[in-house]
Amino acid sequence: MSARILDGKSIAAEIRQEVRLEVEAMAAQTGAVPCLATILVGNDPASATYVQNKARACKEVGITSVRIELPADLSEMSLLHEINRLNSDPVVHAILVQLPLPPHINERRILEAILPEKDVDGFHPSNLGGLLVGSPLFVASTPLGILELLDRSNIVIEGKHAVIVGWSVVVGKPTAFLLLQHHATVTICHIKTRDLAFHTRQADILVVAAGKPGLVTGSMVKEGAVVIDVGVNRLSDGRVVGDVEFPEVAEKASLITPVPGGVGPMTIAMLLKNTVDACRRKWGERCGR
């Protein structure tokens, strides 16, 4: 079997177009323009590129973005002040702190300082807990993007065995809960999992988010599986690859995401969607809706 490509790039373009129309309609009806504030601490080139891409994507769909760039030696207290300022700014609907933060700053403390209703990354404990009980204000963009990709590709989740490699707060855990909510039977694998291949071979839907190039090979995948490769790894020759050995896994899978061009563009598209939701919710509150 040779897999069909799950084209995240074109599905994300479709979503961005929908978001653009929604932003226009909202502005016409209410005068509200969604605004995302991004905070970048330090000058890590990869983080700077991510922030730049997010700002560009906002501009394309009519979302205002405010970029706050702070020095790497900024104190945790100063960063908390900045977040409090954005929390109380009525013009800002959404706040995103680009990770990772410098080691002297406690990441959890920073993420917990963002108001849950502005936490479009979905990393606040109240949103993570909300996911557990099925009613979060926001879900992290990457897991949301994975679910949207499956949905828009007409992949039935209910009753399927989904196996997730990686249990991070950013990808693995929220993806597992979203798949559970859709009545998949979910297995989560991590670094201590014994015989990873045994588990991955059970998967009807395999999500790999480990950050390890070449981790999943053809022999680890069931014939006809749907394979979602979340990994983004830059090799020494400059190539960007996922966690999955693409050519051999594509021989076994029925559907597979490429890297780049799979989950990555979906993540940005869902961030835009979350930002519009934050704005609409704020506007609704003001009007008592």
Note the residues at the interface with ligand NAP (CB under 6 A): 142, 165-168, 170-172, 189-191, 193, 196, 209-212, 215, 230-233, 263-264, 267
Taking the complex as a whole, the smallest distance from the CB of residue 184 to ligand NAP amounts, in Å, to 19
- Measured from the CB atom, the residue of 41 and 271 that comes closer to ligand NAP is 271
Taking the complex as a whole, the smallest distance from the CB of residue 213 to ligand NAP amounts, in Å, to 9
Tokens of 74: 């900024």
- Measured from the CB atom, the residue of 9 and 212 that comes closer to ligand NAP is 212
CA-based nearest residue to 79, from 29, 37, 133: 37
CA-based nearest residue to 209, from 198, 218, 200: 200
202 among known catalytic residues? no
Number of H helices, E strands in the chain: 10, 11
- Measured from the CB atom, the residue of 110 and 215 that comes closer to ligand NAP is 215
3-state helix, strand, coil split of the chain in percent (to 5) is 45, 15, 40
Taking the complex as a whole, the smallest distance from the CB of residue 20 to ligand NAP amounts, in Å, to 21
**Residue 102 exposed, middle or buried by CB count within 10 Å (0-12, 13-18, 19+):** middle
Which of 52, 59, 118, 121 is catalytic? The answer is 121
- Measured from the CB atom, the residue of 172 and 282 that comes closer to ligand NAP is 172
212 among known catalytic residues? no
CA-based nearest residue to 201, from 241, 149, 253: 253
CA-based nearest residue to 61, from 12, 21, 9, 119: 21
54 among known catalytic residues? yes
- Measured from the CB atom, the residue of 71 and 100 that comes closer to ligand NAP is 100
CA-based nearest residue to 111, from 130, 73, 119: 119
> Distances from the Cα of 120 to the Cαs of 30, 136, 174, in angstroms?
21, 11, 14
Taking the complex as a whole, the smallest distance from the CB of residue 269 to ligand NAP amounts, in Å, to 10
Taking the complex as a whole, the smallest distance from the CB of residue 244 to ligand NAP amounts, in Å, to 11
- Measured from the CB atom, the residue of 25 and 46 that comes closer to ligand NAP is 46
Which of 98, 119, 222, 252 is catalytic? The answer is 98
Taking the complex as a whole, the smallest distance from the CB of residue 257 to ligand NAP amounts, in Å, to 9
> Distances from the Cα of 52 to the Cαs of 10, 13, 55, 87, 130, in angstroms?
20, 18, 5, 22, 30
Pairwise CA distance, residues 165 & 171, whole Å = 10
Name every residue whose Cβ is closer than 8 Å to that of residue 287 and which is 6 or more positions away in sequence.
none
| Residues with catalytic roles | 54, 98, 121
